[in-house]
Structure 1
Amino acid sequence: MTHTLSLAGRAVAEYVWQPSLPAAVSPRPFLHPVRTLSGTEVTELMPADHLHHLGVSVAVADVGGANFWGGRTFVPGRGPVHLPNHGIQRHHEWTTRTATNVRHELRWIGPAGTELLRERRRIAALPLRAGVWALDFGFELTNVTGGPLTFASPATNGRPGAGYGGFFWRARRGDRRVHVLGPDRTGERRLHGQRTAWLALTGVNTDPWTLVFVRGDRAPDADPWFVRSRDYAGVGASLAWAKPYIVAPGSRVRRRIITAVADGRLRSGEVAEIADAVAAV
């Protein structure tokens, strides 16, 4: 089941809140397609290289041993292996549902059927300026188990550089070259794992696009960026980059990422202006 987000009568995103997906991709609600205002798609769904990449979603590789990312699990001494440990995120209840704003509650269920987390999620489509709109994505996760709950990643389990897990956007690449920009540096290698206030992807060639990812909280200890632009295009904000993130019983994890979605390949100065505008939202 889907819900359409629209601005000025234009459909800018489809939110699939009750998907029908195989267990191995860790079923969860996702946004796809997300489009620029001119209609260019800027997300990918279940691409051949990573079937578990689902447009825009919240995905974590290891929550108390449960895989909410999809695909294989990194096991120390064995590498990535297929395990029957996939969880599922289930829609529970709507609290808001309009053309520009949705809010709902979800349940994160482990492979044994145990509820691990309760989530409150808010997604909004916001107008910014000509040719640009913003996707405001916020979530709050509450540990509902009786003990501490550990958020981990392949990196914390022994695979350097693979600290993914949290908000994740799989961008549509096609035949495009994708460039990575930051406030004071460029390129995947120089921005992967960094804590910059914003990060941008630009897709060139035909129907170019730009995505500007801005943190809702500019704290210096914010989650590092996970970014890919060569083998595929994707950006995430990592909850467990270098060490596990431990959440006490009843405690919450809150995150917010606002993404400007623009037509055209924007230059560094334009991207910085948009990032400033988004940060003020």
Structure 2
Amino acid sequence: MNAPVKASFTKRPPCTVLRHENRPVGTYVHRPPLAGTLAPRPYLHPVRTLGGITVTDQPGVSLAVPDAYGSQRHLGWLLRDPDGFVEELAWGASERQLLLERRTVAVRTLSAGCWALDFTTALTNVTGQEVAVGGAGSGSGGGFFWSASRRPQPPRVFSAGGDGEAAVDGRPANWVALAAEDWTLVFAGATGDTRSAPWYVRTGDHPGVGSALAARRRPLTIAPADTVTRRIVTAVADGRLERGEAARIAGQLSDKGAAV
């Protein structure tokens, strides 16, 4: 990335196009036209392979805790380049700000036919009292989620420790792969805290993969002024990858090598 740019509150283009070697691979909408009931939040959609295949469905790639926080509000850019950005957002409920987020998104080069989306979130409690994220009544604990494009046949999901939705859903893993007939996504937890969090997967009518901020019915508590950081790096590949190739790619995504 180039030198940081000053955050702007007057010039707000509707979206930011991310590029890999001058090829558009993702569109980030920072002021989304979403209804309040959908937990309004910025999202990446569409995201494409280097071959031009769309691998997201609405609302694309986003971060949310729908049961606890009503909205995310874009505050400004700390850096914005063709290959990534750093953004500040306010998380709130009932017009009260609870969290300040610094979000870093970057495009990474991997190999021919494959690139990676590096997504880091740092959430700081700005309330002066303890804040609980997720917990009782929460289906997935909220967090990062990639809503994948649909195909006639459900995608295959697998990790180093299992194959199929039942073997992967709700369990921690160094990496998880979602493979359709013409694309594959390999998700890696790039920090210890991210790897220890459970993954949530769907392979039916609305396929996708998420990394939870909190476990089901057990909230994540953030002390006043404390910051919680999560980082997920996702390889976006053309074609259907098998386990060995997915594991090899996962080893390039994280600060920890992947096991087959």
- TM-score normalised by length of structure 1: 0.82
- Kindly provide the CA deviation profile for residues 203-237 of structure 1, in whole angstroms up to 9, marking residues without a partner as x: 12xxx100000001145971100111124211111
Residue pair 2:191, 2:255 contacting (<8 A) in 1 also: no
* CA root-mean-square deviation: 1.6
Per-residue Cα deviation, 1:92-120 (whole angstroms, up to 9, x for no partner):
0111100001001011121x211111000
Inter-CA distance 221–30: structure 2 relative to 1 (3 Å threshold) = closer
**Equivalence for 1:178:** 155
Q: Is 1:124 aligned to 2:129, yes or no? A: no
1:210 matches 2:184: yes
Whole-Å separation in 1 of the counterparts to 2:198 and 2:120: 17
Contact 1:164/1:226 (8 A) holds in 2: no
Aligned to 2:88: 105
1:22 correspondence with 2:27? no
Partner of 2:213: 239
Q: Distance in 1 between matches of 2:60 and 2:52?
A: 16
Whichever residue aligns with residue 256 of structure 1, its letter is R
Residue 173 of structure 2 contacts residue 195 of structure 2 at CA under 8 Å; is this kept in 1? no
Shift of 1:280: 4.8
Contact kept in structure 2, 1:132 and 1:263, CA below 8 Å: yes
Segments of structure 1 that go 5 or more residues without pairing to the other structure are: 46-53, 67-86
Secondary structure of the 2:250 match is helix
Structure 1 position 141 matched with structure 2 position 116: no
Q: How many residues align?
A: 242
CA distance in structure 1 between the partners assigned to 2:174 and 2:36 by the alignment: 35
Question: How far apart are the structure 2 equivalents of 1:6 and 1:118?
Answer: 27
8 Å CA contact 1:173, 1:232 repeated in 2: yes
Matched, 1:95 2:95: no
Q: Is the 8 A contact 1:61 1:165 kept in 2?
A: yes
State the alpha-carbon separation in 1 of the partners of residues 36 and 194 from structure 2.
37
In structure 1, distance between residues paired with 2:194 and 2:73 = 33
Structure 1 residue 193: Cα displacement: 1.0
Q: Contact 1:12–1:35 (CA<8 Å) still a contact in 2?
A: yes
Distance 1:105 1:258 in 2: 20
Question: 2:197: which partner in 1?
Answer: 223
Gaps of 5+ in 2: 1-13
CA 1:61–1:44 in structure 2 vs 1: closer, same or farther (change >3 Å)?
same
Matched with 1:80 is none
Tell me which amino acid in the other structure corresponds to 2:31: Q
Q: Supply the AA of the counterpart residue of 1:137.
A: F
Match of 2:3 in 1: none
Give 3-state SS (helix, strand or coil) of 1:211's partner: strand
Q: 1:91 to 1:192 in 2, by over 3 A?
A: same
Runs of 4+ residues over 2 Å off in structure 1: 218-221
Aligned counterparts of 1:259 and 1:200: Cα–Cα separation in 2: 9
CA contact (8 A) 1:117 1:142 kept: yes
